[in-house]
Structure 1
Amino acid sequence: MKLRFTKMQGAGNDFVVLDATRAPLELSPAQFRFIADRRFGIGADQILIVGPSPAEGIDFRYRIVNADGSEVEQCGNGARCFARFVKDAGLTDKLRIRVQTLSGVIEPELHSDGRVTVDMGPPVLDLARVPFHPDGLSAPRQVGSAELWSLPVADRLIEAAVVSMGNPHAVLPITQFGVEDVDQAPVAQFGPLIEHHPAFPRRVNVGFLQIVSRGTVRLRVFERGTGETLACGTGACGAVVAGIRLGWLDERVDVETRGGQLTIEWRGPGHSVFLTGPAVTVFEGEIDIPAQGA
């Protein structure tokens, strides 16, 4: 089966974008894993499937599939690349579009400097909706207007702030690991353990947060179903929301990731989180993918 694709990246978080606006595209998890494979396929953190409008007032819908073949609710860097793709492909002439995702409607807006801003909607702070089930955990430590939960992991307790940006995030201050630089954070060790912690029934993205100033942070994210990525848009949003609620950050924060800089703005409860960053087309091509179930 031959498949046309576009390879894109947003702050180093890379995607394969597939156009399904003219005809449905049904691929198996094994086929998605093949596409995402960096040796035998194209290589990507996630695969984005662009679909037609599902309802009046909505311009497009899109699906997000992780490198392991699992489908997820939201992706901030992917949303920016999605917006750049539909505009460059001539699928819309709008600079602000409404897009249906599994977690709701988002509104990316393209800027003349090449960056894209996405209205990610308000963060989800209700633990049951994250979802986060703290049964059996000790009471959290209150800091500012947020809670730091102690998670038993590898014979120690790891403190995490919990938030959802349409997908679940555990935000870990790196100072608890005895390091001041996020480059020294034990991401490979604790990322997968916390991703699969039983308190997170749908797994969780794990952010390792370094506070540089009230307007700047550094962040590494271990994404569920993918592993550590060079950037994570929803992870940046979740980390800034957590930092603001903990009293550490101002309303506008530059997030330095290994793949580039993202800017997050949040005015507090009841308000949307706005994510701004780059979206770049890398190349286009065609690939033969194995039959279903291969």
Structure 2
Amino acid sequence: MPDLHFTKGHGTGNDFVFFADPDGLIDLTPAQIAAIADRHFGVGGDGVIRAVRSQNLPAGAAALAEDDAAEWFMDYHNADGSVSEMCGNGIRVFAKFLIQNGLATLGQGETLPIGTRSGVRDLQRNTSGFQVDLGRWSLEGGEPLVRAKNLSVARPGLGINIGNPHVVVALSSDEELESADLTFIPVLDPEATEGANVEFVVPMDPLVKDGVGRIRMRVHERGSGETLSCGTGAAAAALATRHWAGSGAPNQWRVEVPGGTLGVRMWAAEDGEHVSLSGPAELVFEGDLTY
């Protein structure tokens, strides 16, 4: 059995197993990926991320067609081995993984384009670590009812897509937020065809301070369960809260998650409104495993 050199990293507690496969020669099965992500018998993580050159992966062709500078593709899988389109925390740590291993460079003021199944995403350094432009977002329409264990009644959710699907639910208090048992998968009615990450949100008091919106969030990620943080989920939660707050709500948000704090910003671009995510990226250890 071959050995795989890996690096463990996280962004606000959302943790991943990274490995470099520039030529696209390592083809792990979903079962092997799930075994690596297992917290009891494997390395443990919310997902497994392969660094592969876009030219060596079929999914990378679209990334290169969009931006021929997108040399690297983030091949992301959830903890259960299923494929996911994007990961806002994962892509920031992915950038640090590339840089630390000499696979890419990113100076102050420069941009690093990375291919994903949701398209090319541009990253820059900032004071908190890295900032990623998550691109255009969209309301999915409708208000699916969301049931979660320990919440007494179903709540309406707001569907938001940021390259991957989310349903955001507003709760009334910190006590409600803490009481939700997210070890159980929240039930959506109607059910999301492709599944969805489900975010539960409460406003902080005051909601806006010094021109910045402030919310707290917990999340159940499809394919991974409850995680300490979800980057695209933080963006979706901020967008949903701004939507509910109405005109005059800020375009800059601070999102508190169990694993730390993330920044979200919205701005107008030529192709529509974009949303960005900023926060820390940490690499914590590396090793070898047999797969």
Name the TM-score, length of structure 2 as normaliser.
0.84
Aligned ranges for residues 6-85 of structure 1 at < 5 Å? 6-54=7-55, 55=64, 56-85=68-97
Structure 1 regions of 5+ residues with no counterpart?
A: 128-133, 135-148, 290-294
Preserved contact between residue 128 and residue 278 of structure 2 (Cα < 8 Å): no
Q: 1:274 aligns with which of 269, 276, 291?
A: 276
**2:244 counterpart of 1:246:** yes
Of 214-223 and 47-56, more deviation after overlay is shown by 47-56
Partner of 1:271: helix, strand, or coil? Answer: strand
For 2:268 and 2:186, locate their aligned partners in 1 and report how far apart those are by CA, in whole Å: 31
Secondary structure, in 3 states, of the residue corresponding to 1:166? coil
Specify every segment of 5 or more residues in structure 2 that has no aligned partner in the other structure, as ranges.
56-63
1:210 aligned to which of 193, 202, 212: 202
Distance in 2, Cα, partners of 1:286 & 1:101? 26
Higher normalized strand content (fraction of residues): 2
**Counterpart of 1:162 in structure 2: which amino acid?**
G
For each residue in 1:200-228, what CA deviation from the matched residue of structure 2 results, as whole angstroms up to 9, or x when unmatched?
10011010001111321111010001111
What is the CA-CA distance between 1:153 and the residue it aligns to? Answer: 4.1
Q: Does 1:116 align with 2:116?
A: no
Counterpart residue type for residue 197 of structure 2: N
Of the three residues 113, 130, 139, the one matched with 1:98 is 113
Q: Which piece of structure 1 moves more, 274-283 or 208-217?
A: 208-217
Asked whether the equivalents of residues 150 and 157 of structure 1 are also in contact (C-alpha less than 8 Å), the reply is: no
- Work out whether 1:260 is the aligned partner of 2:268: no
Structure 1 residue runs of 4+, over 6 Å off? none
C-alpha separation in 1, matches of 2:265 and 2:121? 15
Tell me, yes or no, if the aligned pair for 1:117 and 1:275 is still in contact at 8 Å: yes
- How far does residue 268 in structure 1 lie from its aligned partner after superposition? 6.1
How far, CA to CA, are the matches of 2:12 and 2:3 in structure 1?
Answer: 29
- Note if contact 1:9-1:281 (Cα within 8 Å) is conserved in structure 2: yes
Q: Which amino acid aligns with 1:199?
A: E
Which one of 266, 283, 286 corresponds to residue 284 of structure 1?
Answer: 286
Q: How many aligned residue pairs are there?
A: 263
TM-score by length of 1: 0.83
Bigger mean CA offset, 155-164 vs 115-124: 155-164
| 2:81 partner SS | coil
Assess, with a 3 A threshold, how the Cα gap between structure 1 residues 42 and 197 changes in structure 2: closer, same or farther: farther
Task: Give yes or no for the alignment of 1:234 onto 2:232.
Answer: yes
Q: Which digits, 9 at most, give the CA deviation of each residue in 1:251-272, with x for residues without a partner?
A: 1111111101100001369221
User: What residue in structure 2 maps to residue 144 of structure 1?
Assistant: none
Q: Is the 8 A contact 1:123 1:241 kept in 2?
A: no
- What letter corresponds to residue 258 of structure 2 in structure 1? R
Cα root mean square deviation, aligned? 2.1
Q: Is the 8 A contact 1:83 1:109 kept in 2?
A: no
Three-state SS of the structure 2 residue aligned to 1:192 is: coil
Q: Does 1:223 align with 2:221?
A: yes
Percent of residue pairs bearing the same amino acid type? 35
Superposed CA offset, 1:7-64 (max 9, x none): 0010000000010114422000110011001111100001111111333221211111
Write the distance in 1 (CA, Å) between the matches of 2:12 and 2:182.
Answer: 20
